[in-house]
Structure 1
Amino acid sequence: MNPIPVMEPAEAYALWAREYPAHAHNPVMCAEQRALLALLPTDLRGKHVLDAGCGSGRYLIHALQRGATRATGVDLSPQMLERAAIELSVCGFGTRHELKQGRLEALPVADGAADLTLCGLVIGHLPELEPALAELRRVTRPGGVVLCSDVHPIGHALGWQRDFKIDGTRYAVCHTQHLYSHWHAACSMLGLVIEAVSEPMLDPADIPAGAHFDPVALNVPVALVLQLRCPL
């Protein structure tokens, strides 16, 4: 069997964008999203929400549906931002959102601009954790909240890949394993307080009939979701 080509994020998402929906579209994403949305306030009126690595806009949509006064999405991929613009337009959110191209390690956002910052399934694409967390802290107001998620590090140990299929060919996006101990050390260094940690499991109901998957995945957590508080 030929190995799956592993691509850098910019190249991978340029290819994946045209088929990337603005909702959780696989069992791991469904588990991750349930855990993250459980931490996202149900009433975001008066709040500016930043989605760092917004992709096709799924968490921007959730934030705006929960009443966010303003929502800003930043993503490395112009193709994914184009997809997000279409999805947000279809949802009819008008001018309450803004999309910007930028890197997670250098967000084009002013210091303390966001009341709440989201970063869903993105940090694992970066080789180092601390620079990304430093940026998420910088753009979030003192006392504000950062919600982060990533594929659980156990998946990397089991050989799982962030893969996708286009025109019958399977590809994978490069991914770095960030252990909980790495998160703890980086947060301690930056003064971020870990307020909540969730390790969601797969729901068998989310697995399509006849799907080929590692059965071990039913017995281990598939995502790591953290709620972080910025220092005052």
Structure 2
Amino acid sequence: MTDTRKTALIVGASRTLGLAMAAEYLRRDWDVIGTVRGTRRTGLHDLAEASGGRLTVESLEMTEPDQVSALRDRLAGRTLDLLFVNAAITRGDIPIGEVPAEMFTEVMITNALSPMRVVEWLRPLVAPSGTVGVMSSDQGSIALNIDGGQDLYRASKSALNQLMRCSAARHADDGRTVLLMDPGWVRTALGGPDADLSVEESIPGVVETIERHHRKPGLHFVDHLGQTVPW
């Protein structure tokens, strides 16, 4: 009998949001490829051991171009139904005039340039009717920024959104769905302990929203409830 399970590649799946996404897709009977940084054992390795071979762990330091191209080579011949990049860092709530140049560069490379490199280089592995997505944030919305704060993080997510729009426009005729996902304000190391949502409350909605946008080509900026996020 032909195996009809779909395959998701989740980049940045070692913990919290990415790990929960991997678990949710396994629960929905997908095959999952998840990436981790380095060789340290993570929760993703534990999940893989319990998956009956349906979860494969790959090593990837996304900020290293050679590692991105090596992953692409290792996955050559595979067809992905979903390519999703989950990656972000923050360096605190510092007014932009006080942000050192090296910090600005680090955050922009990690939060904007590197996810886009993965999207652009691995996109050919995604099925023509598949989905390409990145974890964005409502803090990347210019329209919603009425309180300020988190200048650098906001700027990096806005840059990611703009670059995804550039990419979607460049590939406008290829039929794939392109998603900017806002998971909500989630209690993670990045979101902090006062955030509104637990990981368990956010991620099923994220995955359900991704599923509902299957075969809806073009770029969509949406949250974990499926609502459109203003640019």
TM-score (norm. length: structure 2):
0.51
Deviations 1:60-115 (A, max 9, x none): 111110011x2111233332x533112443xx322111111124451342255212
Partners of 2:56 and 2:79 in 1: CA distance: 13
Determine which structure has greater relative contact order: mean sequence separation of CA pairs < 8 Å that are 6+ residues apart, divided by chain length.
1
Superposition deviation, residue 122 in structure 1? 4.8
Deviations 1:108-162 (A, max 9, x none): 422552122222345972442542221341221222112321234258x621688
Partners of 1:136 and 1:88 in 2: CA distance: 22
Partners of 2:132 and 2:78 in 1: CA distance: 12
Partners of 1:197 and 1:85 in 2: CA distance: 27
1:99 corresponding residue in structure 2: 57
Greater strand content: 1
Aligned AA for 2:82?
L
Partners of 2:78 and 2:39 in 1: CA distance: 25
Aligned AA for 1:102?
L
Greater helix content: 2
What is the SS of the residue equivalent to 1:78?
coil
What is the SS of the residue equivalent to 1:64?
helix
The percentage of aligned residue pairs carrying the same residue is: 13
What is the SS of the residue equivalent to 2:75?
coil
Partners of 1:161 and 1:87 in 2: CA distance: 34
1:150 corresponding residue in structure 2: 136
Superposition deviation, residue 201 in structure 1? 4.8
- Give structure 1 stretches of 5+ with no counterpart: 1-43, 163-174, 214-222
TM-score (norm. length: structure 1):
0.51
**Number of residue pairs aligned between Structure 1 and Structure 2:** 157
Counterparts of residues 212-227 of structure 1 (less than 5 Å): none
Partners of 2:185 and 2:86 in 1: CA distance: 17
2:13 corresponding residue in structure 1: 54
Aligned AA for 1:99?
V
- Give structure 2 stretches of 5+ with no counterpart: 90-107, 196-205, 219-231
